[in-house]
Structure 1
C-alpha cells in the first residue's frame, strides 16, 4: 500500500467529527485519524496493525464481519452501514455506527470505515422503548376502551375497546368510527368530531355519554372522553370509552325508587298526618266525657296518636334525606335559631317536662342544612319519651370551640347501657324499653355524619344520658 498517498488525505480528515479508519481486506488497521482518541478512546496510531474485529463485542462480531465481507466482495464504491458495540478503551462497551466504503480502485487501495459514537442516541432509544412499553402496558391493561380515530377511521384500538364493542382488531381498523355508535347518537358524535377539528367552531364537550352499538346489535351506555392529539404526524382524536351501562341502570332504578318514596312522603305528610291530627283532636274532646274506668284507655289512645304523628315527622325527614339527590349540601346555618325553634316546639309538645338552658346560646354558624332541626327534634323528643322520672328534665348546653361547636342534650332518664351505646344509632336499633322504630337516632347519626360532624353518648351524673353532637364551624 502507498503510505504517501494516505498522508495526502490526512490533513482533510484529522479534524473530522468522525473517526476515519483505513483497513485492508483482513480488517488490519492501516491508518487512523486523530479524532480516534475522542471517538473510540484510542490514540491515532495505537490501533495501527491491529485487527479491528478484535475490538468488537463478541455478540456483534459475526454481524460486523458479515457486513464487512459483503463490501469486500462487492465492486469498489459499495457502501455498507452497521451498528455494534466497541471496546472503548475504558473497559466498557460503547455503541458505534460505522459506514464501510470500498476504495480498492483508488490510491487508498483499502476499505474506509467512518465511525461515530452513538451511545447517547442508543440510550435515548432505550428510554423511548421503555416509555413505549410502559404506555403500551397501561393502554392494554386499562379498564377503559381506547381508540384513535384519524380522518374518520379507526386506526388503533386496545383489547378493552374490542371486548366492549364485540369486534376484533381486524374488523375495526380502517373502518368508520360511526360503525360502533348507536344510530340514535351518530349525528351528535359526527357533529362533535367535526367541531373538534374546525378552528372556527365552538369547542365541543370533551366528556359525554353515548350508546355503543356492539357486534351483536346490542346497546351499551358509555362515558366518552375525547381529546385532539397528534398521531404519526397528523391530527387525530383519542377516545377513551368507559362502560357505564350497569351504573345507568342503577341510577334509573334509584330515580324510580326516589319517585315512589316521594309519593309515600307526600302521603305520610298530608293524608296520614292530617287524619291522625283529627283523631287526636277528637280524643282530646273526649277527656271531659269519660269516667275513671275509660280514662286509662283514652290516655293510651292519645299517647298512640301523638306517637303516630311523631313518626310521620321522622318519616318525612328520613325520606327527605334519601331523596335529596345532593340538594342538601352543608352550608352555613345559624345554630341558635334552630335550637330555639326546636326548644319552643318541644316545650309546647311536652308541658310536663322541664327544658333547661343554663347559658345563653352563642351566635355561631355551623355547617349543616335545613334538616338540622330534625337532629335536635329527635334528641329532645327522645330525652322526654324515654324518661322514667316523674318530671323529665332535659338540659341543653352549647360550647363554641376553635373548629367546631358541641351541643349536649342531657336527661335524667334511665340512661343507656354501655353495650348499647355503640349500636343505638344503627338503623332499626331501639333504646331501653323503647316503643319507637329506631329510625330517629339513625337519622340523627346520618345527618350529623353528612355535615362532617360526630355524635356520641355518655352517662349523665347522677343518672341519665348525655348526647353530644359535634358540628363543624362555618367560619
Structure 2
C-alpha cells in the first residue's frame, strides 16, 4: 500500500509564508541594528577623535607665542588668543567687540587700511602682510608683524580676516640701531677723511718751507751751523713723512672698511714689480747695516694685479723687516710659482713675534709686541692694510715667526689674467720711481 504526501491546507501555506517573511524581517532588522550599532560606534570614535583634535588645536592656539585673531570686515575683534595678554597686555575679554583701529598707532592706520581694504577686499588678494605698532595696555607701542587671510561663508563671500601676528619690536630696535651704527660709521669715515686732509695741508706747507730752508742752509758758509741746520731740517722732513704715513694709513683703512677702495687690476709682470720695489729700498737696507738677498725661480709672470697696491704691500713688509732686524742681520725676498699661484716671501733674521701674538698681528692698531713700541714707532695699522690689499687680489698672507730667529711673511696670489677685451689702457713699463712714497713708508726708520 502506497502512502501519498499530506497536502497542506491553504491556511497552513499562508502561515508558512508569514513565518518566512517574519524571519527575513527579523534577520533584516538584526542586520540593520548591527549596522546602526557599528555606525554609532564609528561616529563615537570620529566624535572622540574630533574632540581630541579640537582640544589639541585649542591647546596649540591658546599656547602659541604668536597672537591669532579673527576680525570682521568692520575691523571688530571676534576672537583673540590668550597670547594677546603676553604681548599686548590685554586679556581676550578686553578686546572682544573692540575695533582694531583703536589699538593701531595713528601713523600706521592708513597703511593698515590700505592693506585691509584695497588689497584684500578690493584687490582680490587672499592674504596680506603688514607691520604696524599696537598700543600696549601699559601705554607704550609694540611692533607686530601680521599676516592676514580672508575667510568666506558658504556662498564664498568674505566675512572676516584671520590675523596671525608676532612681536618684532626687538627686530625693529635692532634695525634702528644698525641704521644708526651705519650712519655713525659714515660720519666717522667722513670725519677721518676730512680731518686727514686738513692735517695734510699744513704738513705739505711745512715740507715745502723746509725744502726752501734746506736749500738756503746748504749754501751757507759756516760748516758747523750748516751741519746742525741740515740735521734739524732732515728731522723735520722725516717727522712730516711719519705724520703723512699715519694719515694715509687712517684714510686707506677707513676707505677699505667703507668699501671705497677697490683693486684696479690689470695685466702686469708681477716678478718685475716685486724686484723693482725691493731694489728701490736697497739704500735703506745698506745704511742700516743689513744684508739683502733677492731670489726668484721665474723670470716673468704676467698676471692681473694693482701695481700701486703691490708696491704698498711690499714697502710695508720691507720697512717692517728693516725696522726689526739689527745691524749684521739679513733680509730675504723670494718669488716662486707653484700650482697656478705666485708665492712672495719677505723673511728677516730680526726679533721675531711671540706665538701668542701671531693670531692678532693683522688686526688694526695691533703691534707684535708692546715692548717693540719703545724701540720702534708705529700705529699698528700697516699689517691690517697689507692683509686687506692682498685679499683684494684674492690672495692670502701667512706669518711664520719665532722669537729671536726672525719672521717670514708669505703672500700667495692666484695667477689670474684680465681678458684682452677688458684690459684697461696702461703703461707698458712699470717703475717704482716714487721716491717720496718710499721716504714716507720708511719714515719710522732712523739711521744714525
| Higher-RCO chain (CA-CA 8 Å, sequence separation at least 6) | 2
Q: Where does the alignment leave 5 or more consecutive residues of structure 2 unmatched?
A: 1-18, 155-159, 219-225, 285-291, 418-448
Aligned match of 1:263: 190
2:100 is matched with which residue: 151, 154, 177? Answer: 177
Structure 1 residue 123 displacement after superposition: 5.8
For 2:276 and 2:206, the matched residues in 1 are separated by 21
Aligned match of 1:224: 145
* Residue range with higher mean Cα deviation, 245-254 or 156-165: 156-165
Q: Where does the alignment leave 5 or more consecutive residues of structure 1 unmatched?
A: 22-38, 40-96, 99-114
Structure 1 residue 277 displacement after superposition: 3.0
> What are the Cα deviations for residues 214-250 of structure 1, in whole angstroms up to 9, with x where unaligned?
3344344x36252426599964333333113532442
**Could you say what secondary structure the match of 1:317 adopts?**
helix
Aligned match of 1:416: 352
Any residues of structure 2 matched to 1:449-464 within 5 Å, and which? 455-459=397-401, 464=406
> What are the Cα deviations for residues 406-443 of structure 1, in whole angstroms up to 9, with x where unaligned?
75451436253233322323343214444112133345
1:363 aligns with 2:303: yes
Aligned match of 1:278: 205
Q: Go from structure 1 to structure 2 and tell me whether the alpha carbon gap of 1:253 and 1:341 turns closer, same or farther (over 3 Å shift).
A: farther
Q: Go from structure 1 to structure 2 and tell me whether the alpha carbon gap of 1:338 and 1:361 turns closer, same or farther (over 3 Å shift).
A: closer
**Aligned residues between the structures:** 366
Bigger proportion of residues as strand: 1
TM-score by length of 2: 0.61
Any residues of structure 2 matched to 1:132-281 within 5 Å, and which? 133=59, 137=63, 139-140=64-65, 147-151=69-73, 152-157=75-80, 161-198=84-121, 200=123, 206=129, 209-220=131-142, 222=143, 224-228=145-149, 230=151, 235-243=161-169, 244-281=171-208
Q: Go from structure 1 to structure 2 and tell me whether the alpha carbon gap of 1:158 and 1:260 turns closer, same or farther (over 3 Å shift).
A: farther
Q: Go from structure 1 to structure 2 and tell me whether the alpha carbon gap of 1:202 and 1:409 turns closer, same or farther (over 3 Å shift).
A: farther
- CA-based RMSD of the aligned residues comes to 5.1
Any residues of structure 2 matched to 1:40-439 within 5 Å, and which? 98=40, 115-116=41-42, 126=52, 130=56, 133=59, 137=63, 139-140=64-65, 147-151=69-73, 152-157=75-80, 161-198=84-121, 200=123, 206=129, 209-220=131-142, 222=143, 224-228=145-149, 230=151, 235-243=161-169, 244-288=171-215, 289=217, 291-324=226-259, 334=265, 352=283, 358=296, 359=298, 360-361=300-301, 363=303, 377=312, 380-388=315-323, 395=333, 397=335, 408-412=344-348, 414=350, 416-419=352-355, 420-431=357-368, 432=372, 433-439=375-381
Q: Go from structure 1 to structure 2 and tell me whether the alpha carbon gap of 1:236 and 1:429 turns closer, same or farther (over 3 Å shift).
A: same
